[in-house]
Amino acid sequence: MVRAVPVWLRLAGVVFVVLTALVLLAPLIVVVGVSISESQFIAFPPNGLSLRWYEAVLSSDAYLGAGWISLQIAALVTVLATLVGGAAAIAIHRRQLPFSELLATAFLSPLVLPTIIYAIGMLMFWSAAFGTVTPMVLALSHTVIALPYVVRTTLAVLSEADPFLEEAARTMGANRLQRLWLVVVPQCLPGLAAGAFFAFNISFDEAVLSLFLRGPTLTTLPVQIYGQLEFSPDPSVAAVSTIMIALTIALIAIIERMLGLNRFASA
Amino acid sequence: MAKVRLHSIRKSFNKTGVLHGISLEIASGEFVSLLGASGCGKTTLLRIVAGLEGVTQGSVEIDGRDVTDLPPEKRDVAMMFQSYALLPHLSVAENVRFPLRMRRIGNRDEQAEKVRAALETVQLAHLAERKPRQLSGGQQQRVALARAIVSRPKVLLLDEPLSNLDARLREDMQVELIEMHQRLGLTTIFVTHDQEEALSLSDRIVLLNAGHIEQEGTPGQIYGQPATAFASNFIGSANLLPVQIVDGPDGPLARFGDGQDLALARDEPTRGAATVALRQEDLTLAETGSGPTVKVRTRVFLGARNRYVMTLAGQTIRALTGNDVDFADGQEVTLAIDPSRVRVIHE
């Protein structure tokens, strides 16, 4: 069958794959390239090799402060979104709540709602009702847009599970709490872990909400990068972006390994 | 071990009646099969005994105590599910220990000992540390069985436990179930749609049809004396043929629609319109004889046996014969059956 594919079509396939990879990876290559440049200016290919911009980033209070805020918010969002999203997914999966279809749609709606509309609404609502935006508010709004990912990954895992496990646990004497903790949550774990990873990533590089809900003491890393790029562009922007790329790849590797191990252990 | 009493159980889902007044008493240590086609309510009845389903009316008693309103976790029953329902994140040993842990039976050492004994009963002690997904279907089935018996429940409920196994394994497991029941003597309710399984395993069979008990009795009674047309057809899948019973020179005859006669036992009291039930395995075929003539439509080779599909008075009639009986499609043959094996059902 495969041999029947004409040569020109196979060539076209190769070209298509290479082009796609190029479009996906070229920006990253440029960012990494610029970050190791000697030059004062953002230029590609880099002029000379140096790690001076990494040094600049790591000794900059602005970057470090913003990075620290981003990390704290992302950690909080990860916990909140995983707890709320996981609980929501379990409830939706059981279909015993009234309007559970409606609830499912509500929990997934941030995926289709333009973030900028939500950001404007959140800013207006919060300022009118409570005044100054706090880090907690930003974390809450990040949680809202991260929720659908946790709900979806958890629902996906639950839909593959044996629907009789809980009933079986009941006949073995497990009460409500024991069933939740010893049967339902362990089944959800791979979905929760994947959802937590998405939640962290979404919060960590979210720019629209962070831009609208920023304050003098509330600047996340993406907002800091954006400001730097707008007002005094230099390769430090590329250096900090490269660090973010590295962090994301490391996270993916960890999660892949954990989920892979988990799947292997229960396989 | 305990006796179970079901008292006029009715169950409806959204006003659709599923069970219409089932009363049943199961003795301590008895092995009872609920037999019936899918949709007859047998699984619902089992789930009611487990407590997973409430009743619309009626009561459930286990060991003399009314448990109708008791949730499953407070009833001392164990249920084995058709899907086995093993907890995928726990090892085989942890799965088997689960009911002991939940019901707080014994300390850790005693539990470990019980788990080991239960796994030995099903010959899986060597796989205790594996995860369920690393086991074959038959092994998973045994783990589920070990988990069901480990706490020595008052009642053991089995929901079509053998239906996902291949034929060979199913036979082996039937033998193991019988031996285990003899050894442990647990009161057991076994749900199945497979008549052979019910006949070979049970002390008593309860034949369910559309939410009511069609007939109950020992396997011998159910097989030998089916009380209704449904029972005859379901057990042994007998041929059911409409006849007129008339008096012949040598005793009563069953007259088919085309005027052919079949001799009945001399003491058969029924006369007039009736149905005869002819078991496939009781019929013999010959080239000539005194019985009714039928036309062969198809022969199905079953290995050890042949099944002939024939036409008698416009009706389909099936017979199981040895694999050495050889007739061609379209050939006319005569039917013979011992008159005492013909069951007459008058409506």
pLDDT 10s digits, A2-47: 567 888 998 999 999 999 999 999 988 888 888 888 877 777 787 7
pLDDT range class, residue B187, cuts 50, 70, 90: very high
pLDDT 10s digits, B332-346: 899 999 888 888 887
CATH superfamily of B237-345: Nucleic acid-binding proteins (2.40.50.140)
Taking 90 as the threshold, does the pLDDT of residue B95 lie above it? yes
- DSSP letters, B158-207, are EESTTTTS-HHHHHHHHHHHHHHHHHH--EEEEEES-HHHHHHH-SEEEE
Nearest to A168 by CA among B122, B86, B71, B46: B86
Q: Which residue of B has its CA nearest to A161?
A: B88
Please judge whether B133 and A187 are an interchain contact, meaning their C-beta atoms are less than 8 angstroms apart: no
What's the mean pLDDT in B21-39?
93
Which of A172, A176, A177, A184 would you mutate first to test chain B, the one with the most B CBs within 10 A? A172
Supply φ then ψ for residue B120, to 5 degrees: -70, -35
Whether A52 and chain B come into contact, CB under 8 Å, resolves to: no
Are the C-beta atoms of B232 and B343 separated by less than 8 Å? yes
Q: What is the pLDDT of residue B233?
A: 80
What's the mean pLDDT in A113-142?
90
Angle, vertex CA A127, rays to CA A122 and CA A128, nearest 5: 105
Looking at mean pLDDT, say which of A28-37, A93-102, B107-116, B214-223 comes out highest.
B107-116
- Within 8 A of A266 by CB-CB distance, chain B residues are 88-89, 131, 133
Q: What is the pLDDT of residue A43?
A: 73
Count A/B contacts: CB-CB distance under 8 Å. 70
**Beta strands B31-35 and B187-192, pairing class:** parallel
List residues bridging with B305 in a β-sheet: B322
Whether B105 and chain A come into contact, CB under 8 Å, resolves to: no
Are the C-beta atoms of A69 and A218 separated by less than 8 Å? yes
Supply φ then ψ for residue B224, to 5 degrees: -80, -35
Length of chain B: 347
List residues bridging with B263 in a β-sheet: B253
- Within 8 A of B157 by CB-CB distance, chain A residues are 171
Please judge whether A171 and B78 are an interchain contact, meaning their C-beta atoms are less than 8 angstroms apart: yes
Nearest to B94 by CA among B133, B144, B128: B128
Whether A174 and chain B come into contact, CB under 8 Å, resolves to: yes
- Within 8 A of B51 by CB-CB distance, chain A residues are 170-171
Please state, rounded to an integer, the average pLDDT across all residues of chain A.
87
Please judge whether B102 and A173 are an interchain contact, meaning their C-beta atoms are less than 8 angstroms apart: yes
- Within 8 A of B77 by CB-CB distance, chain A residues are 171
Please judge whether B131 and A267 are an interchain contact, meaning their C-beta atoms are less than 8 angstroms apart: yes
Neighbours of A11 (CB within 10 A): 10
Closest CB to A164 among B72, B73, B81: B81
Q: What is the pLDDT of residue B69?
A: 93
**Which A positions 128-157 lie with beta carbon below 8 A of chain B?**
none
Classified by CATH at the fold level, domain B4-230 comes out as Rossmann fold (3.40.50)
Q: What is the pLDDT of residue B41?
A: 92
Whether B72 and chain A come into contact, CB under 8 Å, resolves to: yes
Whether A172 and chain B come into contact, CB under 8 Å, resolves to: yes
Whether B83 and chain A come into contact, CB under 8 Å, resolves to: yes
**Separation CA A175–CA A185 (nearest Å):** 14
Q: Which residue of B has its CA nearest to A179?
A: B102
What's the mean pLDDT in A199-203?
92
pLDDT 10s digits, B48-78: 999 999 999 999 999 999 999 999 999 999 9
CATH superfamily of A58-265: MetI-like (1.10.3720.10)
Please judge whether B77 and A172 are an interchain contact, meaning their C-beta atoms are less than 8 angstroms apart: no
pLDDT range class, residue A260, cuts 50, 70, 90: low
Percent of residues, chain B, with pLDDT higher than 90: 52
Angle, vertex CA B217, rays to CA B215 and CA B222, nearest 5: 70
Please judge whether A169 and B102 are an interchain contact, meaning their C-beta atoms are less than 8 angstroms apart: yes
Looking at mean pLDDT, say which of A23-37, A119-133, A175-189 comes out highest.
A175-189
- Within 8 A of B87 by CB-CB distance, chain A residues are 165, 168-169, 182-183, 186
Q: What is the pLDDT of residue B115?
A: 95
Q: Which residue of A has its CA nearest to B148?
A: A172
Q: Which residue of B has its CA nearest to A190?
A: B89
- What burial letters (b/e) apply to A27-58, b meaning 16+ CB within 10 Å? eeeebbbbbbbeeeebeeebeeeeeebbeebe
pLDDT 10s digits, A62-117: 888 899 999 999 999 999 999 999 999 999 998 777 888 888 888 888 888 899 99
pLDDT 10s digits, B243-293: 999 988 888 999 998 889 888 888 888 888 888 888 888 898 988 888 889
Please state, rounded to an integer, the average pLDDT across all residues of chain B.
90
pTM of the model: 0.78
Please judge whether A266 and B131 are an interchain contact, meaning their C-beta atoms are less than 8 angstroms apart: yes
Taking 90 as the threshold, does the pLDDT of residue B47 lie above it? yes
So what's the ipTM on this one? 0.78
Whether A169 and chain B come into contact, CB under 8 Å, resolves to: yes
Strand, coil or helix: what is A52? helix
- Within 8 A of B74 by CB-CB distance, chain A residues are 173
Length of chain A: 267
Contacts of B246 (CB under 8 A, 6+ apart): B252, B253, B255, B261, B271
Q: Which residue of A has its CA nearest to B52?
A: A167
- Within 8 A of A189 by CB-CB distance, chain B residues are 89
Whether A259 and chain B come into contact, CB under 8 Å, resolves to: no
Percent of residues, chain A, with pLDDT higher than 70: 96
Residue ranges of chain B assigned to CATH 2.40.50.140: 237-345
What is the least distance, in Å, from the CA of A125 to any CA of chain B?
45
Q: What is the pLDDT of residue B126?
A: 94
What is the least distance, in Å, from the CA of B327 to any CA of chain A?
47
Q: What is the pLDDT of residue A265?
A: 42
- Within 8 A of B151 by CB-CB distance, chain A residues are 172-173
pLDDT 10s digits, B192-207: 998 888 988 899 999 9
pLDDT range class, residue B209, cuts 50, 70, 90: very high
